[in-house]
Structure 1
Amino acid sequence: MTEPTSRATAGNLTPSSLTIDDRFVIAAALDRILYDDPDHFATEDARLLRRMIPRTPSPWLRLGFRAESQGPSMSGRAAGVGDVKMDGDKKVVEGGVGEAPVWRCGQYKISNHGDDLEIWQVMSDEFAEEPKGARLEYGATGTPERLTFFQPRDLELRIPFTGIAVGLRLGGWQPWKKAS
């Protein structure tokens, strides 16, 4: 069986650079890496992914942000009901700086930074309540070494007497699996 090849080149990186067949092969390899064995993954699948996902230049700084604000709330007394409180609408603004191009393959978003492949489930990201991200890491010779998972560390700073809180999420990658 021959493997599909990507039509992407270094000067022509677009999300449509991968064919639908490429995306199926990538999604199947990711399923095997993430779900087949709890402690190990096949190096052949990791090499296949690195060959197929176009490499993109990584910015030296990547920052993401998420801001939430709560609208005004009202409270009062309603006849026949008692005390009533209505919270205002919640507004969320998200953004980022230095994000690399991401390719959608099945239920995954994946990007190739050269030394690693960053993998996220489609409906998850760094700011999700339970983020589902992994990083496939390669050694200096390009040999797959390990798979890590995203484990955030949340800090919250409250400004006294204002009711304002500033949250900070620091990303950390924890060991998960080793190459077999």
Structure 2
Amino acid sequence: MSKAYPPDLRIDDRMIVAAALDRILYDDPDHFAAEDARTVRRLIPHSRSAWLRLGFRAERQGPSMKGEAAGIGDVRMEGDKKVVEGSVGESATWRCGQYKITNHGGDLEIWQVMSDEYAPEPKGARLEFDEKGEPERLTFFQPRDIELRIPFTSLAVGVRLGGWQPWKMVAEGGVVAG
């Protein structure tokens, strides 16, 4: 069975999307232009979303050694850190300039290229549309980290829960004063 690939974006479209996202994210601290949001939504192909999206990241420290070094004293060498990442239910993502964008239909998820949900300071936003398809608001990703320690061991399990917090509203009349 062959896998169907979504159509590709032309370089001109990618540049238009990147410029519109720059204006949406950086021009005004409280508002964004509706026309820029419509342009991005029109150019980024809609991709099917799974009903459940899960991502994981596991880190494990390798074995460490300790001992004594002549002229130095006690020394400790940490083993290499091993990281495993994966996800289930991911949608097609489009790269436009410094952004990765996914069109879920009711919203566009936007991430800076070198950031994701697991970054120490994640840089993600979601452009949300109402039921008529009109831009409504922009939210930003605000994680909540929980660490669960396993009693009587040195093991801990970290869980990052994602949440979206209000950021900007669409400008009245659709144009941002700049």
How high is the TM-score relative to the length of structure 2? 0.92
- Structure 1 residue 58 displacement after superposition: 1.1
1:22 alignment partner AA: D
Identify the residue that residue 90 of structure 1 maps to in structure 2.
Answer: 81
Taking the aligned partners of 1:50 and 1:12, their CA distance within structure 2 comes to: 19
Identify the residue that residue 174 of structure 2 maps to in structure 1.
Answer: none
Taking the aligned partners of 1:96 and 1:82, their CA distance within structure 2 comes to: 45
CA RMSD of aligned residues (A): 0.9
Instruction: Verify: 1:13 aligned to 2:13, yes or no.
Output: no
Instruction: Verify: 1:74 aligned to 2:65, yes or no.
Output: yes
Where structure 2 has 5 or more consecutive residues not aligned to the other structure, the ranges are 172-178
Taking the aligned partners of 1:29 and 1:136, their CA distance within structure 2 comes to: 12
Taking the aligned partners of 1:111 and 1:133, their CA distance within structure 2 comes to: 11
Specify the SS of the correspondent of 1:50: helix
Change (3 A) 1:83 1:133: same
Taking the aligned partners of 1:158 and 1:71, their CA distance within structure 2 comes to: 19
Where structure 1 has 5 or more consecutive residues not aligned to the other structure, the ranges are 1-10
| Offset from partner CA, 1:105-152 (integer Å, 9 cap, x none) | 000000100000000000000000000000000000011000000000
Which of structure 1's runs of 4+ aligned residues deviate more than 4 A?
none
Instruction: Verify: 1:30 aligned to 2:21, yes or no.
Output: yes
Residue number among 141, 150, 168 corresponding to 1:177 in the alignment = 168
- Structure 1 residue 12 displacement after superposition: 5.0
Identify the residue that residue 54 of structure 2 maps to in structure 1.
Answer: 63
Specify the SS of the correspondent of 1:136: strand
* Percent of pairs with identical residues: 74
**Structure showing greater relative contact order (alpha-carbon pairs closer than 8 Å, 6 or more residues apart):** 2
Taking the aligned partners of 1:164 and 1:143, their CA distance within structure 2 comes to: 48
Identify the residue that residue 156 of structure 2 maps to in structure 1.
Answer: 165
How high is the TM-score relative to the length of structure 1? 0.91
Specify the SS of the correspondent of 2:102: strand
Taking the aligned partners of 1:74 and 1:161, their CA distance within structure 2 comes to: 22
Taking the aligned partners of 2:73 and 2:138, their CA distance within structure 1 comes to: 55
Taking the aligned partners of 2:61 and 2:135, their CA distance within structure 1 comes to: 45
Taking the aligned partners of 2:86 and 2:154, their CA distance within structure 1 comes to: 24
2:44 alignment partner AA: I
1:29 alignment partner AA: A
2:60 alignment partner AA: S
Identify the residue that residue 39 of structure 2 maps to in structure 1.
Answer: 48
Change (3 A) 1:178 1:107: same
Q: How does 1:95-174 map to 2 (within 5 A)?
A: 95-174=86-165
Specify the SS of the correspondent of 2:109: strand
